[in-house]
Each structure stands twice: as structure tokens, then as C-alpha cells.
Amino acid sequence: MEISGRAAQLTPSLTLSIDAKAKAMKAEGIDVCGFGAGEPDFDTPDHIKQAAIAALQSGFTKYTPSSGIPELRQAIAEKLAADNGVNYKATQIIVSNGAKHACYNAILATCQPGDEVIIPAPYWVSYPDMVRLSGAEAVIIPTSERNGWKIRPEDFENAMTPRTKMLILNSPGNPSGSVYTREELEALVDIAAGEDIYILSDEIYEKLVYDDAKHVSIASLSKEAYDLTLTVNGFSKSYAMTGWRLGYLAAPEAVAKAVDSIQSHSTANPCSFAQKGALAALKGDQQPITDMRDEFDMRRNYMFDRISKIPNVTAVKPQGAFYVLVNISQLGLTSQNFADRLLSKANVAVVPGAAFGDDRTVRLSYATSIDIIKKGLDRFQDFCRTL
């Protein structure tokens, strides 16, 4: 049976395959230290769960508007104004089945065959395939450890062509943990505005920033930035709600309407009672989020300090998210070979950088307990010394 060309060109997610392999080993009783996780190891705060339970018990289990319940869209608009300094009407907010879904919807609504989308590497694994599914072409721009794994204005300008439709930015970033400064973003916006290039700003890790880093929403920088930016965010990382599958897009009215139409014909509405949980997340106690961030910060410092002392590997200290991107290029292995051997010989799971468009690196997540981090880094260090 023949499948479509678009489906045939997709690549399986290496992040999910590594995680599945590690879980299979654990199921066999093997003591695996998993650094592959892309989700908080904390439980969803109780007041959020209780709101969803109450919604279920009251019978709130039917279809909702495809773009989300009005009160949640309004709460998101209020959140964006208060936290991010950007003003959207509720009609410009589309609630989706996760931030991943929001990213795909945004690309599908704005890009088509013949368009090019610039994606700095290392990138989150799904961006290029989302672009390919829209029929557009993903243009991958390598970044360097020296520049904190961030695209520079000259990189952007050199990659542009008359076909460039969009630049995708993820700050704080996965897998690098990099956070763009206001000045860095303004320089990129100036270029995009000069050519009417959309910026897809994936801000899913915005609550997880450390030290003196500040999250800046691109749409808040200027009217030109606002008109060109498609802001994506969600509840998975900040509120430990990965399985709830709730994200959102904030965009100019025309794009929001197009996304609403796409969603109405594909997935329809996001889960009804989960939306009540999301409403409680925005309106309720934020202390659990602060506590989670503080715990991640402690783990981040420990993991980076340990890695920085291992010979022949290097890393940039992450300013956000919950990952450390480790440059293993001096060890003489591809990232896939390194990850496979590390898992089979040392029972440590990491994600190869090839999944993120940079074969020089592997990604370690500190979204796991400090005990596992300590044990896993002991094994990681011993393994690196054998190479």
C-alpha cells in the first residue's frame, strides 16, 4: 500500500524512541538513568487537577468551541498582557491540543509550497517536519556553541531569500537552554520587519529561566514585531501538564481566524474538562510553579558543574528550560553512536544531537531526581573517560 510523499519524508522522533528504549530496559529490571525526558517530573498541582475533576463531575464533557472556551481564551489574553506586555483580544487566542499542535497550526496557516522557513540548529525536533508537512522547505542554519547556540542577525540575513516566509525561534530553547536577550531579539525583528517575514515564537519554557536571564516575548517589542509574530505557549512545561495536551496560539486576527478554521476541520476543540484545569492554572496559586523552577535551578547548577569538569566535553550553561546540551565532538563518535553505546554499556539514556540537527552534541535533561542525576553523571563521566 502506498503512502503519501509528505508522510514518507517524515523521520521518527529520536527523543521518543530513546525514551521508549530506556523504559523497555527499566521494565526488564535494568537500572537505567534516564536523561531523555522532555517533561517535568513533578505532578500537576492539585488545584488544577481538582478543577478538572469538578468539571467532569458537573458534566462538562461535551464539545466546546473549536478555539477553546471563551473564559480560557480571555484568561490567556489577560495573562499575556500581565506577564508578557502584549495585548491580544480573546478572539486572537486559539487554544489547541498542546503547544506542538499550536506550532503546526501556525505553520499550516501561513506557509505553503514554494515558501522557505528558517530554523536555527540545534532546534526542537519537530520543527522541520512540521514545515515539510505544510509543503514548505525547512532551511536549517547552524549556530555555534561560541555564540550560545543562538542565531545572529548576519546568519539570518545570509539565509534569507525572496521565498523566506518565516523564522522559528524558541526562547528559552530546547535543546540548548539558551535565552535570547531583548537586544538580540530586536536585531532579528528589524530584519524580519524589513522583509515582512513571520516569526514563530515558541515560548513554552518561559517560566523556567534562571540567574539574571529574562524571558522577552517577541510580540511585545514593537508594533512591527506584534504584526509579524505568532506566539505559541502552553501549560505542559510551566504547570507540569504534559499529558493534558493544552497549548495556545496568539496571533494577528487574520492568522487566528485561519487557525481556527484549520482546527475546526482537523481536531475540533481541545479537551473540555482539561480546559477548566488550564483556567485554574492561570487563575490559581502560582507558588508550585516557583517551587518547581527553584528545584530545576538546583539540578541545573549541579549537572552543569559536573559536566564542566569532564575532560574532552564542553557545554554552555543553560539559562532556561531543563536541558544541558553537551558537545561530544572531541570524543570521536557520532551523537547516535555515543547515545547507543552509553545506553548499552552504562545504562544511561541521553538524546543524540542528530535529532536536533547538530551531530556534535547530546542532550541531557535534568527533569529527574537529583539522586538519578548524581548516579547517571557518575556513569556518564566514567563512560566518557573510556573513549
Report the CATH number at residue 292. Answer: 3.90.1150.10
Residues 105 and 217 in one domain: yes
| Nearest Cα to Cα of residue 84 among 229, 210, 199, 289 | 229
User: DSSP code of 209?
Assistant: B
Q: Note whether 336 and 11 are within 8 A (CB).
A: no
Query: What domain range is 228 assigned to?
Result: 46-283
Give the count of domains, the chain.
Answer: 2
Each residue's pLDDT tens digit, 234-247: 999 999 999 999 99
Place of cell 486559539: 94
Residue 19 confidence (pLDDT): 75
Domain boundary among 283, 298, 331: 283
Residues 122 and 187 in one domain: yes
User: DSSP code of 320?
Assistant: B
Exposure on the CB side of residue 91, measured as CA atoms within 13 A: 4
| Nearest Cα to Cα of residue 362 among 376, 172, 295 | 376
Residues 16 and 78 in one domain: no
Residues 278 and 303 in one domain: no
Domain boundary among 239, 265, 283: 283
Residues 136 and 236 in one domain: yes
Distance separating alpha carbons of residues 295 and 324, to the nearest angstrom: 15
Residues 314 and 242 in one domain: no
What confidence tier does 8 reach under pLDDT thresholds 50, 70, 90?
A: confident
Each residue's pLDDT tens digit, 24-82: 888 999 999 999 888 999 999 999 999 999 999 999 999 999 999 999 999 999 999 99
pLDDT score of 379 more than 80: yes
Residues 240 and 365 in one domain: no
Q: For residue 340, what is its C-alpha cell?
A: 547507543
User: What CATH number has the domain bearing residue 68?
Assistant: 3.40.640.10
Residues 307 and 184 in one domain: no
pTM: 0.95
Average pLDDT of span 364-378: 97
Domain boundary among 283, 307, 322: 283
Residues 23 and 96 in one domain: no
| Nearest Cα to Cα of residue 325 among 175, 216, 144 | 175
Please tell me whether the peptide bond between 175 and the residue prior to it is cis, using omega within 30 degrees of 0: yes
Residues 17 and 93 in one domain: no
Q: What do you get for the CA distance between the two ends of the chain, in Å?
A: 45
Distance separating alpha carbons of residues 20 and 18, to the nearest angstrom: 5
Residue 10 contacts by C-beta under 8 Å, 6 or more apart in sequence? 129, 132, 133
Q: For residue 239, what is its C-alpha cell?
A: 504547570
Residues 297 and 160 in one domain: no
What confidence tier does 21 reach under pLDDT thresholds 50, 70, 90?
A: confident
Could you list the beta-strand ranges (E) of the chain. Answer: 33-34, 93-96, 116-121, 137-142, 164-170, 198-202, 229-234, 247-250, 314-315, 323-327, 348-349, 351-352, 361-365
Q: Note whether 97 and 267 are within 8 A (CB).
A: yes
Residues 179 and 328 in one domain: no
